[in-house]
Amino acid sequence: MEDAVTAKDGLLPGGRDVPFAQIEATLARLVRDGRRRRGAPARALLATVIAVGVQERLTAAAEALEQLGDVGVRAILISEGTHTNPVARVTEHSIAIAGLAPRYLNNAVAALRLSSLPAAVWWRGGSVEALDDLADLADRLILDTPDPDDVWAKADGLFEHTVVTDMRWPALTRWRAALAHLFDLPQVQRDAASLQRIEIDAKDVYAARLYAGWLKSRLRWTDAVAISIKEAAGDAPTPLVRVRLSGKALKVTLQVKPQGSCLEAAVEGGEASTRIVPLGDGSLAALIGEELGVRTRDLAFEQALTAAREIHV
Amino acid sequence: MPNPLLDGLRIESTPEPTAFVIFGASGDLTRRKLLPAIYQLSRAQRLPARFSVIGIARSEMTDEQFRQQWHDSLKEFAGLEKPDDVSSALAGCMTYLQGELDDAGLYGRLAAKLKEAGSPAGVLFYFAVPPGVYGTIVERLAAAGLTKPPNADGWRRIIVEKPFGIDLASARQLNRLMHEHLDESQIFRIDHYLGKETVQNLLVFRFANGMFEPVWNRRYIDHVQITAAEVVGVEQRASYYEGAGALRDMVQNHLMQVLALVAMEPPIAFSAENVRDRKLDVIMSIQPLLEDARTSVVRSQYAAGWVNGEEVPGYREEKGVSPESTTETYVALRMQLDSWRWAGVPFYLRTGKRLPKRTTEIAIQFRRPPLHIFKRISPTAIASNLLVVNVQPDEGISVRFEAKLPGSRMQLAPVMMNFRYGSAFGRAVPEAYETLLLDAMLGDPTLYARHDFVEASWALITPVHERWAALAAKALPTYEAGEWGPEEADAMMAAEGRRWRTL
């Protein structure tokens, strides 16, 4: 058996190091003490969130889950390593396990997830081989890696196990809604079939592919519609900077307003129309919060992802 | 043609291009509720791409001044210190029309404005005006051809505020007049209680859970108490309230709606007509008040007292109230529903102004167990199980049950198990007006009152008013402001061995 390791290297700095077997008892004590200290009932726990990834990305995840405030989740943060006898660090509602061997990820999750409540795996990177087993334990799998080609390639198999999404998807919600609402306008409906080209300037090229994939699948575009994606800089907390759809009779532009807090969606020509909507909170906490509110399978996402895999920049 | 991009969109469906026309645009309701609701809907991307607001009132105002009122309203009631991109963009879609509501020319100018706004598919007229002019507005709108959409894809709807009539005859007359010019599907009678999250949750709680409905009947429930308590007095509404009173102001609409949701049979589907049919069944099953010996009504009026840390005058000393007023500021009722489910289960309703705290709740009190087997070792009578739905201010659901106190002795004590919207979901609950305005734009009347419900409700209430009119002031007890109503209300409960919940 390998030596035990501790979670001393950064996650949950205010936590208490305990052997794996004592996690539940320690959590119960911490909850009871917290309730006494605050003089208020403990918050309701609604789900388990299991974040998996490298140390730095788990630190960001821990902070985001902490910011969810009153949305009560049990957070389990696991970084991969080679250890089979890990020590965990716990706070009132969070557990960090460092360096756990990937083959035991699912065992740890099975032991620690809250029974009878939904469990979401927040995949921030790691060995994709562990994903299938985790998907069986999770009600929801949220993909969130900077370079998702390997997990996107496995997506079709994962769709059969659980509800899958990508963190880019909620980040695109406002962009999708802004465009969708323009498609309510009669002239846009009438001329949508004439669209020939989409140009996307994006900070995150994968998000741009997903957006284009969504349009391709919803509007049943063939290869006749040209898709052009360019990397671009931008200050706003949103993955896209500008989207332009054009055809013979129709031009639609979506772009971040100069102050960076709103999105302007405009139809040119004919009965011109402009709509300004807030970009919303694009922080990691807001995005994971939105994902935790969704329980059902998202066919629009699945089709968009399938189409996005075929789009090459 | 269905919009393919809306499919699977997490931001829910939005209405077709809409013009929102507010009659009474300079009034309190517009500033406090309607304009902030429009702003919040826009922030949440729930408004259509083409949306405009046309304000109408008697006050002289330019478009620019109306836009300033918009910004002022958002500052005061939506906490928006200075205009943002969203409010500024919406301000550009706002125009104002000054005019008398009985002036046919006003409606011609309104038609022209709608044309300027691009003849939107949908037009929603909001009557934020006294009920006395509803008929005039509807007639003038119809005469100007504004109640019928130009094509099959369009719609024209009106929202009317309470009170919808002042008695059964006036409600029927108003319904008749409206139906001369409008189809029932175009009329949305708003009751903001129905937009409250906890009131909507009643349907989910009862019909999306398998464990509550089997005990939701006369076999297990002893009685039901519905309370809507206000701390405030009559405030600036004396001229309205003098003619209304608690029975018209609260019971005929809000409390009857809540009662219907508590007592209704399961609808076969969650659709507007199914839900409203089942609610109507409840109202039709309520036995005539005062005629049936099992019913009781207690009215009362607040006298001077002490509320919220300060002395307050009695109702008759309030500004704008007659010193001989017989208007009730408190009413308590015992209702009897003669239905298979509720036979023998009394429903107690109470509402009043100048009560000790602001709270609205529904309390379902269950029967005690048939045998107290712990009597010898724990002689205190065990408390009944209680299920409380808190409508406001602390939205949630609580269940009271007996538990064993830790220790070697067998001691029992009641404990509460609480669900609170605020802590469980950690997200802001939308204002009732946001939900209701959006529903009207989407054409969903589930949370609005139907004409037959309104009339059935007035049919119950009107005989009580007639009886009170004959009794005049001599039978009007008072209660001290800051107390939980008159002794007569307590006596009504005590006569049956029950008492009001202490809130």
User: Which residues in chain B are contacts of A220 at CB distance < 8 A?
Assistant: 4
Averaged pLDDT of chain B: 91
Question: How many percent of chain B have pLDDT more than 90?
Answer: 69
| Per-residue model confidence as pLDDT tens for chain A (313 residues) | 333 344 445 788 889 999 988 898 898 898 888 878 877 666 667 789 999 998 889 999 999 998 876 567 899 999 988 888 888 999 988 999 998 988 888 888 988 888 878 899 999 998 888 888 888 888 999 999 999 999 999 999 898 889 999 999 999 999 999 999 888 888 888 888 889 999 999 999 999 999 999 999 999 998 889 999 999 988 878 999 999 999 988 899 999 988 778 889 999 876 667 888 888 888 999 999 888 878 788 999 999 999 999 998 7
Q: pLDDT tens-digit profile of B50-72?
A: 899 999 999 999 999 999 999 99
User: Which residues in chain B are contacts of A218 at CB distance < 8 A?
Assistant: 4-5, 7
Closest residue of chain A to B52, computed from CA coordinates: A275
Q: Give the Cβ contact number of residue B261 at 10 Å.
A: 23
User: Which residues in chain B are contacts of A189 at CB distance < 8 A?
Assistant: 1, 3
Closest residue of chain A to B13, computed from CA coordinates: A181
Of A184, A189, A265, the CB nearest to B48: A184
User: Which residues in chain A are contacts of B9 at CB distance < 8 A?
Assistant: 173, 176-177, 180, 300
d(CA B283, CA B268): 18
d(CA B86, CA A278): 7
Q: What is the 3-state secondary structure (H, E, C) of chain A?
A: CCCCCCCCCCCCCCCEEEEHHHHHHHHHHHHHHHHHHHCCCCCCEEEEEEEECCHHHHHHHHHHHHHCCCCEEEEEEEEEEEECCCEEEECCCEEEEEEECHHHHHHHHHHHCCCCCCEEEEECCCCHHHHHHHHHHCCEEEECCCCCHHHHHCHHHHHHHCEEEECHHHHCHHHHHHHHHHCCCHHHHHHHHHEEEEEEEECCHHHHHHHHHHHHHHCCCCCCCEEEEEECCCCCCCCEEEEEEEECCCEEEEEECCCCCEEEEEEECCCCEEEEEECCCCCHHHHHHHHHCCCCCCHHHHHHHHHHHCCCC
Q: pLDDT tens-digit profile of B148-162?
A: 998 888 999 999 998
Q: pLDDT tens-digit profile of B28-54?
A: 999 999 999 999 999 888 888 789 999
- Residue (of A119, A83, A114, A112) closest to A98 by Cα position: A83
Both tokens of A53, joined, read 């990834």
Smallest Cα distance from B2 to chain A, Å: 9
Cβ separation of B48 and A181 shorter than 8 Å? Answer: yes
Whether residue B393 has a cis bond before it, omega within 30° of 0? yes
Residues contacting B467, CB < 8 A, separation 6+ = B290
**pLDDT value, residue A227:** 95
Of A178, A271, A276, the CB nearest to B89: A276
Cβ separation of B45 and A174 shorter than 8 Å? Answer: yes
User: Which residues in chain B are contacts of A181 at CB distance < 8 A?
Assistant: 14, 45, 48-49
Which residue reads 């501790």 in tokens?
A: A6
Asked if residue B289 has pLDDT above 70, the reply is yes
Test the A interface: residue of B5, B416, B427 with most A CBs within 10 Å: B5
Q: Name the DSSP letter for residue B450.
A: -
Please answer whether residues B186 and B156 qualify as being in contact, where contact means their C-beta atoms are separated by less than 8 angstroms: yes
d(CA B446, CA B79): 30
Cβ separation of B8 and A219 shorter than 8 Å? Answer: no
Cβ separation of A185 and B17 shorter than 8 Å? Answer: yes
Most confident of A201-210, A249-258, B129-138, B393-402: A201-210
What pTM does this model have?
A: 0.81
- Residue (of B280, B277, B256) closest to B267 by Cα position: B277
User: Which residues in chain A are contacts of B425 at CB distance < 8 A?
Assistant: 46, 70-71
| Total CB pairs under 8 A between chain A and B | 102
What average pLDDT does range B185-208 have in this prediction?
92
Cβ separation of A259 and B427 shorter than 8 Å? Answer: no
Of B1, B11, B86, the CB nearest to A276: B86
What average pLDDT does range B280-305 have in this prediction?
92
Closest residue of chain B to A297, computed from CA coordinates: B8
Percent helix, strand and coil across chain B, each to the nearest 5? 40, 20, 40
**pLDDT value, residue A5:** 41
- Residue (of B38, B24, B20) closest to B98 by Cα position: B24
**pLDDT value, residue A132:** 84
d(CA B428, CA B228): 23
| Backbone φ, ψ for residue B130 (5° rounding) | -60, 145
Between vectors from CA B329 to CA B327 and to CA B331, what angle results, nearest 5°?
105
**pLDDT value, residue B297:** 94
d(CA A71, CA B489): 42
- Residue (of B327, B271, B335, B373) closest to B476 by Cα position: B327
Q: pLDDT tens-digit profile of B440-464?
A: 999 999 999 999 999 999 999 999 9
Largest CA-CA distance found in chain A, in angstroms, rounded: 73
Per-residue b or e along B270-293, where b marks 16 or more CB atoms closer than 10 Å to that residue's CB: eebeebbbbbbbbbebbeebeeee
Both tokens of B152, joined, read 């099959």
Please answer whether residues A164 and A120 qualify as being in contact, where contact means their C-beta atoms are separated by less than 8 angstroms: no
**pLDDT value, residue B207:** 95
Please answer whether residues B454 and B189 qualify as being in contact, where contact means their C-beta atoms are separated by less than 8 angstroms: yes
Please answer whether residues A130 and A109 qualify as being in contact, where contact means their C-beta atoms are separated by less than 8 angstroms: no
**pLDDT value, residue A136:** 85
pLDDT-derived band at B472 (thresholds 50, 70, 90) equals low
**B118 touching chain A per CB within 8 A:** yes
**B92 touching chain A per CB within 8 A:** no
**pLDDT value, residue A186:** 81
- Residue (of A163, A161, A100) closest to A132 by Cα position: A161
Please answer whether residues A125 and A57 qualify as being in contact, where contact means their C-beta atoms are separated by less than 8 angstroms: yes
Test the B interface: residue of A181, A257, A274 with most B CBs within 10 Å: A181
**pLDDT value, residue A43:** 64
Cβ separation of B45 and A294 shorter than 8 Å? Answer: no
Smallest Cα distance from A68 to chain B, Å: 8
Smallest Cα distance from B38 to chain A, Å: 13
3-state secondary structure of B157: strand
Cβ separation of B49 and A275 shorter than 8 Å? Answer: yes
Q: One of B192, B254, B451, B465 is an active-site residue; which one?
A: B254
Of B10, B16, B425, the CB nearest to A173: B10
Cβ separation of B85 and A278 shorter than 8 Å? Answer: yes
**B16 touching chain A per CB within 8 A:** yes
Smallest Cα distance from B84 to chain A, Å: 9
Q: Give the Cβ contact number of residue B452 at 10 Å.
A: 16
User: Which residues in chain B are contacts of A277 at CB distance < 8 A?
Assistant: 42-43, 45, 86
Query: Cα A230 vs. chain centroid, distance in angstroms?
Result: 22
Smallest Cα distance from B12 to chain A, Å: 9
Residues contacting A200, CB < 8 A, separation 6+ = A208, A211, A212, A227, A228, A229, A230, A240, A242, A243, A244
**B473 touching chain A per CB within 8 A:** no
Whether residue B163 has a cis bond before it, omega within 30° of 0? yes
Of A71, A274, A275, the CB nearest to B425: A71
Q: pLDDT tens-digit profile of B325-372?
A: 999 999 999 999 999 999 999 999 999 999 999 999 999 999 999 888
d(CA A8, CA A13): 8
Smallest Cα distance from B86 to chain A, Å: 6
Annotated catalytic residue B372: no
User: Which residues in chain A are contacts of B1 at CB distance < 8 A?
Assistant: 189
The angle that helices B256-263 and B197-207 make with each other, rounded to 10 degrees, is 20
d(CA B207, CA B30): 35
**ipTM of this complex prediction, to 2 decimal places:** 0.77
Q: Give the Cβ contact number of residue B370 at 10 Å.
A: 6
User: Which residues in chain B are contacts of A174 at CB distance < 8 A?
Assistant: 11, 45
